Amino acid sequence: MNLPSDLHFLVVDDSPSIRDLIVRSINRMGFTKVDVAKDVNQAWSKIEKKMVDGNLYDFIVSDLNMPGPNGLEFLKRSRSTELVKELPFLLITTESEKALVVQAVMAGVSEYVVKPFDYETFSKKIIAAYTKHHPNAA
């Protein structure tokens, strides 16, 4: 499946090395429009600016476990905000966060991937998440 090449991603993770890994993986898939945020508050500021500009993100990739509002809270806020509620949302978790993953599924997460992950797994999850929101793209 080929996703639109101009997708604009927002990557949210408090770990610079994980953020870089995610961005490199997205770039390897052929996407060049990637913004990053170190936490949910910074991410939400970027989303609000995009809502004002009318040029929204196409995809959100977020870590689950971050200081301050976590990825689950970010997901819930995103799903309750009209202009971003339908965006594909990929949550990155650890094996020990299974209970929170169940909550994320109930809150409407598109897909999740467990750390550590490889490029092949990550790219399949991106495609699966996108397809859930754009079924005619398959």
Q: For the chain, list the domains and their CATH numbers.
A: 8-137 (3.40.50.2300)
How many CA atoms, within 13 angstroms, populate the side-chain half-sphere of residue 12? Answer: 31
CA distance linking residue 125 with residue 85, whole number of Å: 19
Inter-axis angle of helices 119-133 and 16-28, nearest 10: 70
**CB-based contact 59:131 (threshold 8 Å):** no
For 12-34, how does the pLDDT look when each residue is reduced to its tens digit (9 = 90+)? 999 999 999 999 999 999 999 99
Q: pLDDT tens digits for 92-126?
A: 998 787 888 899 999 999 999 999 999 999 999 99
Q: What is the DSSP letter of 31?
A: -
Beta bridge partners of 60: 10, 89
pLDDT at 90: 98
